[in-house]
C-alpha cells in the first residue's frame, strides 16, 4: 500500500503533455500562496502555452522568490501578500493556494480587482465567507472555479453517469465519507491544524471531496438542516506527533466529523470523515435509490480514486442482482484538467467548471456541522440565493 506522501505526490508528478491550445490570446497569471499545493498549480500552468506566469505572493518573506527559482522561472515579480500583488499587477487570473483561513479574503480581493479566480478547496471556512465570495463573484462577472480536481476523473464521472442514467430510481439516502486510520497532515508544519490557518480540519482537507462526489452525482440539492458532531481526540494528543508534541497545543480543528443532513427533495445524507481513527474505514459510500443502490468502495476520497469496482444492487424479473462496473484505468491528469477548464472558461466566456453556486452547499454543510456540534442540536441552514 502506498504511504501518504506517495499518494499525495502521485498527481503532482503526472507528466501528461499539453493538448492543442489557441495561443492567440495569452493569459497573465499570478499565484497567491506559494506553499505545497502551489507546486501542482505551477506544474500545470507551465504546460499551458497560452499562460504567462507573471507574479506571485506569499506572506513568508522570501518564500515566493525561492518557489519561482526552484521552478526555473526568472522575472516573475513577487509580493509579500495577495493585496500588494493585486494592487500592482494587471492580471487575467490568479490561483488562490493559501491555507483555508485566507481563501475568502484573497478571493474577494481578486474578484473586486476584476481578476478571474481558481480557488483551492475547501471554498473557505464558514458559510458567511462563502456568501461573501458569491456576492463578490456576482458583482465582478468574473470566473470563479473551485479546485475539486476529482471532477475530471473518469471514475468520478462514472458515478454521476450511473445516477443520471436513472437506474437507481429516486435517491433517498446517501452515506459518504471515509478517511485515514492515522493521517493528520503535518509534514510541513501546522498550517492544516491551527485555528488561524487551517481553521477546519479533516472536513476541509478530505471531507469536502466526499461531499462533492455524492452531491455532484445527484445534482447538488440544497441542504436544509444539519446535525453535526466534531472531535479532536487524536489531534490534541501529543503522542500523535512523534518529535513534535507541541503540535497538540496548536491543534484547533476537527480530526473527526459526522453529520446527518437533510437535503431538498427528501434525501438524507449521512457523512463522516476522519484524519485519524481506530478503524480502517467508517464505511463505503452508498447511494440508495428506489430501483437500485450504488456502492462505491471506501477510499481516502481526496483525489478521485476509487477503492474497487462500483456495484449496483437491483432487482431484475424478481431476482436480486448485482451489476459490477470495473474501475476505469486512465492517465487523465485531473489537476491539469482543473486548471485547463478554468482557463478555457475565461477564454470562452463560459460558466465556471466547478461553480461556487454548487460548492456553497458543500461549505454550508461543513460549517453547519461545526455550528451544530457547538450548539449540541440540529440547525437549520439559511443559504440565500445569490
Ligand atoms: N487540490 C488538492 O489536491 C489540494 C491538496 C493539498 C492542499 N490543498 C488546499 O490548498 C490550500 C493550501 O494548502 P498547502 O498545503 O499548500 O498549504 P501551505 O501552508 O503549504 O501553503 C499556504 C501558503 O499560503 C500563504 N498565504 C496565506 N495567506 C496568504 C496571503 N494572504 N497572501 C499570500 N500568501 C498567503 C502561506 O504563507 C503559505 O505559504 C489548502 O486550502 C488546502 O486545502 C488542495
Which atom, in ligand 1's list, is nearest to the CA of 103? 41
Give Cβ neighbours of residue 235 (< 8 Å, ≥ 6 apart): 184, 193, 201, 248, 251, 253, 254, 255, 275, 276
Instruction: For CA atoms 65, 56, 121, 70, give the dihedral sign.
Output: negative
* pLDDT given for residue 2 in this prediction: 42
Q: How far is the CA of 188 from the centre of ligand 1 (A)?
A: 11
Q: What is the pTM of this model?
A: 0.95
Q: How far is the CA of 128 from the centre of ligand 1 (A)?
A: 20
Q: How far is the CA of 349 from the centre of ligand 1 (A)?
A: 28
Q: How far is the CA of 310 from the centre of ligand 1 (A)?
A: 33
The H-assigned helical ranges of 271-311 are none
Distance in angstroms (rounded) separating the CA atoms of residues 362 and 341: 21
**Terminal CA-CA length for the chain:** 45
What is the Cα gyration radius of the chain? 21
Q: Which of 97, 153, 194 for a ligand 1 pocket mutation test, highest count of atoms within 8 Å of Cβ?
A: 97
* pLDDT given for residue 326 in this prediction: 95
Q: Is-cis flag, bond preceding 122, omega within 30?
A: yes
* pLDDT given for residue 304 in this prediction: 63
Residues paired with residue 231 on neighbouring β-strands, in sequence order: 256
* pLDDT given for residue 298 in this prediction: 87
Residue 287 phi, psi dihedral angles, 5° rounding: -120, 110
Strands (E), 49-184: 51-57, 77-79, 93-96, 116-120, 144-147, 171-179
Which atom, in ligand 1's list, is nearest to the CA of 102? 28
Q: Which of 99, 211, 336 for a ligand 1 pocket mutation test, highest count of atoms within 8 Å of Cβ?
A: 99
Which atom, in ligand 1's list, is nearest to the CA of 11? 3
Which atom, in ligand 1's list, is nearest to the CA of 60? 37
Q: Show pLDDT as tens, one digit a residue, over the chain (386 residues).
A: 344 555 455 545 454 555 689 999 999 999 999 999 999 999 999 999 999 999 999 999 999 999 999 999 999 999 999 999 999 999 999 999 999 999 999 999 999 999 999 999 999 999 999 999 999 999 999 999 999 999 999 999 999 999 999 999 999 999 999 999 999 999 889 999 999 999 999 999 999 999 999 999 999 999 999 999 999 999 999 999 999 999 999 999 999 999 999 999 999 999 999 999 999 999 999 999 999 999 999 876 555 678 899 999 999 999 999 999 999 998 999 999 999 999 999 999 999 999 999 999 999 999 999 999 999 999 999 999 99
- DSSP state at residue 206: I
Q: How many helices (H) and strands (E) does the chain have?
A: 12, 15
* pLDDT given for residue 303 in this prediction: 58
- Domain range 4-148+334-355, CATH architecture: 3-Layer(aba) Sandwich (3.40)
Q: How far is the CA of 228 from the centre of ligand 1 (A)?
A: 26
Which atom, in ligand 1's list, is nearest to the CA of 302? 3
Q: How far is the CA of 172 from the centre of ligand 1 (A)?
A: 36
Q: How far is the CA of 63 from the centre of ligand 1 (A)?
A: 12
Identify the H or E element spanning 320. Answer: strand 319-325
Output the residue whose Cα is nearest ligand 1's atom 4: 37
Ligand 1 site residues (CB inside 6 A) read: 32-38, 57-60, 63, 81-82, 97-100, 102, 106, 120-121, 147, 149, 188, 191, 204-205
Q: How far is the CA of 127 from the centre of ligand 1 (A)?
A: 20
Q: Topology of domain 151-330+364-380, per CATH?
A: Dihydrodipicolinate Reductase; domain 2 (3.30.360)
Q: Which grid cell sits at 368? A: 453547519
Q: Which of 9, 12, 31, 36 for a ligand 1 pocket mutation test, highest count of atoms within 8 Å of Cβ?
A: 36
Q: Sheet holding 93-96: strands in order across?
A: 77-79, 51-57, 27-32, 93-96, 116-120, 144-147
Spell out the domain ranges in the chain: 4-148+334-355, 151-330+364-380
C-alpha distances (whole Å) from 99 to each of 104, 183, 214, 240 are 10, 18, 25, 22
Q: How far is the CA of 98 from the centre of ligand 1 (A)?
A: 3
Q: How far is the CA of 287 from the centre of ligand 1 (A)?
A: 32
Give Cβ neighbours of residue 129 (< 8 Å, ≥ 6 apart): 103, 104, 123, 363
Amino acid at each position: 500500500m502506498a504511504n501518504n506522501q506517495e499518494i499525495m505526490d502521485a498527481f503532482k508528478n503526472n507528466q501528461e503533455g499539453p493538448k492543442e491550445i489557441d495561443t492567440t490570446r495569452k493569459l497573465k497569471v499570478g499565484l497567491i500562496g506559494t506553499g505545497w499545493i502551489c507546486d501542482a498549480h505551477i506544474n500545470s500552468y507551465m504546460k499551458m502555452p497560452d499562460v504567462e506566469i507573471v507574479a506571485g505572493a506569499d506572506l513568508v518573506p522570501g518564500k515566493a522568490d525561492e518557489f519561482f527559482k526552484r521552478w526555473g522561472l526568472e522575472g516573475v515579480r513577487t509580493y509579500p501578500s495577495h493585496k500588494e500583488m493585486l494592487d500592482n499587477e494587471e492580471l487575467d487570473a490568479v490561483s488562490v493556494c493559501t491555507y483555508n483561513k485566507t481563501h475568502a479574503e484573497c478571493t474577494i480581493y481578486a474578484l473586486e480587482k476584476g481578476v478571474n479566480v481558481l480557488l483551492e478547496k475547501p471554498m473557505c471556512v464558514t458559510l458567511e465567507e462563502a456568501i461573501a465570495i458569491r456576492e463578490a463573484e456576482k458583482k465582478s462577472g468574473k470566473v470563479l472555479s473551485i479546485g475539486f480536481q476529482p471532477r475530471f476523473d473518469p471514475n468520478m464521472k462514472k458515478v454521476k453517469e450511473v445516477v443520471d442514467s436513472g437506474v437507481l430510481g429516486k435517491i433517498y439516502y446517501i452515506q459518504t465519507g471515509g478517511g485515514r486510520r492515522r493521517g493528520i497532515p503535518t509534514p510541513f508544519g501546522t498550517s492544516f491544524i491551527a485555528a488561524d490557518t487551517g481553521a477546519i480540519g479533516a472536513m476541509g482537507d478530505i471531507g469536502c471531496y466526499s461531499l462533492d462526489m455524492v452531491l455532484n452525482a445527484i445534482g447538488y440539492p440544497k441542504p436544509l438542516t444539519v446535525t453535526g458532531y466534531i472531535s479532536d481526540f487524536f489531534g490534541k494528543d501529543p503522542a500523535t506527533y512523534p518529535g513534535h508534541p507541541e503540535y497538540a497545543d496548536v491543534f484547533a480543528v476537527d480530526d473527526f466529523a459526522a453529520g446527518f443532513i437533510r437535503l431538498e427533495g427528501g434525501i438524507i445524507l449521512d457523512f463522516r470523515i476522519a484524519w485519524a481513527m481506530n478503524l480502517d474505514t467508517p464505511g463505503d459510500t452508498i447511494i440508495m435509490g428506489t430501483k437500485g443502490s450504488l456502492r462505491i468502495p471506501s477510499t481516502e476520497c481526496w483525489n478521485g480514486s476509487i477503492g474497487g469496482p462500483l456495484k449496483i444492487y437491483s432487482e431484475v424479473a424478481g431476482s436480486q442482482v448485482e451489476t459490477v462496473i470495473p474501475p476505469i484505468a486512465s492517465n487523465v491528469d485531473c489537476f491539469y484538467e482543473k486548471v485547463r477548464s478554468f482557463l478555457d472558461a475565461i477564454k470562452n466566456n463560459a460558466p465556471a467548471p466547478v461553480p461556487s453556486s454548487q460548492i456553497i452547499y458543500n461549505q454550508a454543510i461543513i460549517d453547519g456541522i461545526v455550528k451544530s456540534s457547538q450548539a449540541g442540536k440540529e440547525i437549520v441552514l439559511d443559504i440565500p440565493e445569490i
